[in-house]
Chains A and B, each alone.
Chain A
Amino acid sequence: MTTMTIAKAITNGLAKVLESNPKSVLIGEDIGKLGGVYRVTEGLQAKFGATRVIDSPLAESGIVGTSIGMSLRGYMPIAEIQFDGFVFPAYNQITTQLAKMRSRAEGRFGAPVVIRIPYGGGIGSVEHHSESPEALFAHTAGLRIITPSNANDAYWMIQQAATCGDPVIFFEPKRRYWLKGEVDLENPAPDAFRAQVVREGNDATIVTYGPLVPVALAAAEASLEDGRSVEVIDLRSISPIDFDAIAESVEKTGRLIVTHEAPTFGGIGGEIASRIAERCFHSLEAPVIRVGGYHMPYPISKVEDQYLPDIDKVLDALDRSFAY
């Protein structure tokens, strides 16, 4: 066991990938000498050289498109998109090409490219630096989408992404980069595509992922004062979603709150609410309640605290659930 930040855990996980797979390469803007704007790739170019850790021209479509090409030639590219809002020049390559390579090739081969994207708000930044576009990608079949919420997962999930054989979008909760946690370097974390119960409880379930896991845990803790025992599930994987884990919990607790930073309309929470309503209709004591962003562009930073789901909003949702 050793303690490190989420950012450092990803760095170390990437180093493990580079060590164990000589065909793996990192590519992205400013990932070399600078080590990325968040320093997640810090030191890796010095250690593995400029052909394994590639500073690319400033062109996201080019980064993802050439990663696809490299993977067709047997390489294992892990691309970095500098910020969530800048993935869209590459959206075409990701959704029309990367996601569909395996089905087009009739299963003969795929393009197991990993795309790392720092995402989410709460860092007081300017436009396009705080978005949560996961639902846009989850709607595209062929992509796997995962997001760690703690250092141990960060260390292991990036390695699991690089060996799973499919294209993976690895969303990194940027406002949690500096969150420290214990990492078990010997024993792998559970399968990246499965959810995990991170706090047990009997009266209600909160499902969340990435940056909001600490918020959900804090809300569960605060609920103790009201005599409520709240279970928290860290989804970890957004595509596929581990509905079994959620259903099992809801059958026990009877109440479900889903929270994410992305707007609720058309979001992942709606998918979960619908599936769970269908599967657990007889166990639910209240409708599934979603807590997420509003239907507006991610707001200016001075008011993002009013926009982002926080403990109070989650507690309010719990109150509404218990009012049924």
Chain B
Amino acid sequence: MHESGDMIQLLNSEGERTANPEWDAYLGDVDADMLRQFYRDMFYTRRFDKEATALQRQGQLALWVPLRGQEAAQIGAGRATKPQDYLFPTYREHGVALTRNVDFPQMLRLFRGISNGGWDPRDNNFHMYTMVLAAQVPHATGYAMATKMDEADFSPEKRAADGTAVMAFFGDGASSEGDVHESMVFAASFNAPLVFFCQNNQWAISVPVEVQAKVPISQRAQGYGFPGIRVDGNDVLAVLAVTRWALERARTGQGPTFIEAYTYRMSAHTTADDPTKYRLDSEEASWIDRDPLVRLEKHLRDNGLGDEAFFEDVSRGADEMAHRVRQEAMAFPVPRLEQLFDNVYAGAHPLIQAELKQHLEYEAGFLDRPESDNTDGGAH
């Protein structure tokens, strides 16, 4: 089952719940509070994205990677996980990060050019961002393999309740990289408790998904020996249900699952990109009807689950969050180059010591040490 190219959808673009007994079974606990929480998550994620885009435009970030349109895929997937699960993102998973309690301003250190990480992944089991596409997917596979070894003595009940599952996030473009294919071989061979979560947002910069895959990407999984499933990535409930199912498979020793969240990024690839060169406006417009936020808002309103006061509260809260993000991001201190020598090796290294000494002597030769420029932006 669950192995066709058909797309799972539980909340249609009119905001109506479509009954599906098989998948509804994974949503038994979803009440009005949870639905409102999902809406708030998605709204905050979009507001954060907007604020970061503005910061980039104002020269405060070197680059920004927008995700507008992908909120349901990310919140549905993230909210399906348990605290013990470990997640490996690419670089656009700001919504997933929210569900893992990574504080938004931390996400900006990377794009502000003052860190190549930004948060401690061990605090929330949400790994650092990765710039080399697909490179994190084998790591996720290995992490899942190690998890399985660690939990070898769990009883089936304990495994189902407390077992650790691992998720690897990547895009439709990255799915072409050898690292993803090799990971699928390893994950299948070792029955790793892993969920491959591919956000198919239709484009890899200027290259449409058709160049990466001739069949739904999810169908590839069958060739590697595990189920692949396509879900409406703009439907937070369907993503939640399908991800819960896949995580349960991982937790109960049934091995890897491939999820393709079919979605669309309603903005440029990055702030350095110019989609008018390759993408038609009409395409973007055609996805407006499928906007994941609008859909959930309709559902909440039509079913009396959210009143005006609720929506106002979400909006106000999001603005406050955005204000705090801006304040905190601008106040981050810029490290000096000499501090970076500390993190190259764990132990003493004579070359590092010699070069650090040389650097400090060189800098001391200036009357005024050059100050780091706090304001410059830059291409890419």
Contacts and interface: CB of A to CB of B under 8 A. Distances in A.
Contact of A128 (B131, B337, B359, B365): B131
A57 B344 contact: no
B209 to A, nearest CB: 10
Interface string B313-345: 000000000000000000000111100110010
A3 interface: no
A56 B211 CA distance: 7
B174 to A, nearest CB: 6
B51 interface: no
A36 to B, nearest CB: 9
Contacts of A297: 116, 344
- In the complex, which of the residues B114, B207, B341 has the most CB atoms of chain A within 10 Å of its own CB atom? B207
Interface in B329-380: 334-337, 340-341, 344, 349, 351-352, 355, 359, 362-363, 365-366, 370, 372-374, 376-380
B179 interface: yes
A14 B349 CA distance: 45
B370 A305 contact: yes
Nearest to A61: B178
A265 B355 CA distance: 10
Given A58-B204, A302-B334, A126 B111 contact: yes
Nearest to B356: A294
B254 interface: no
Interface in B153-195: 173-174, 176-179
A265 B358 CA distance: 14
A57 B113 contact: no
A129 interface: yes
Contacts of A129: 131, 380
B113 A302 contact: yes
A52 interface: no
Nearest to B62: A124
A300 B114 contact: yes
Contact of B206 (A30, A126, A127): A30
A34 B274 CA distance: 8
A166 interface: no
Chain A, interface residues (CB within 8 Å), range = 35 or more
* Chain A residues touching B, majority SS: loop
A313 B359 CA distance: 10
B252 interface: no
Nearest to A87: B132
A303 B272 CA distance: 21
Given A37-B380, A58-B207, A306-B372, A124 B113 contact: yes
A34 B277 contact: yes
Contacts of B352: 295-296
A306 B336 contact: yes
A67 B133 CA distance: 21
Interface in A310-324: 312-313, 316
Nearest to B179: A89
A312 B175 CA distance: 45
B340 A86 contact: no
A223 interface: no
Contacts of A307: 337
Given A126-B63, A295-B344, A300-B113, 12 more contacts: A57-B176, A57-B207, A61-B177, A86-B132, A125-B378, A126-B380, A128-B131, A302-B372, A303-B335, A306-B370, A316-B362, A316-B365
10 contacts: A32-B206, A33-B206, A37-B272, A57-B207, A58-B174, A58-B204, A86-B132, A124-B62, A300-B335, A306-B363
